[in-house]
Amino acid sequence: MFTWKEEQMNKPVKIWLENIEEAEEGCLEQARHLAQLPFIHKWACLMPDTHQGKGMPIGGVIAADGVIIPNAVGVDIGCG
């Protein structure tokens, strides 16, 4: 696990992979967008099975302050 933060990101992203090269660029772009949202609480996370989703990375986890984001549950809920 390591923490990733770029200048334009408001919050860091904790990633449960060996290195950032293991993640798809589309997944990282989605995580970058999540980390810029003003209501993300402390950090966003990417689990080991992460890959690009529809707006939210599959294997992505967030906690949000004062908002509910149905799409954050994902269209793959219950897969596996």
Q: Is residue 55 part of a domain?
A: yes
Q: What is the pLDDT of residue 80?
A: 59
In the prediction, which pLDDT does 76 show?
65
Question: What pLDDT is recorded for position 70?
Answer: 86
| Interior angle at CA 41, CA 77 and CA 20, nearest 5 | 70
Residues of the binding site: 76
- Residue ranges making up the domain that contains 24: 2-67
Supply the pTM of this predicted model: 0.89
Q: Residues marked as binding for Mn(2+)?
A: 76
Structural domain count of the chain:
1
The DSSP 8-state label assigned to residue 32 in this structure reads H
Q: What radius of gyration do the chain's Cα atoms show?
A: 12
CA dist 11 and 40 (Å) reads 7
> Does 74 reside within a domain?
no
Q: Contact, 52 vs 58, CB < 8 A?
A: yes
* Residue stretches of the chain with pLDDT short of 70: 75-80
What is the Cα–Cα distance from 68 to 49, expressed in whole angstroms?
24
pLDDT at 78: 67
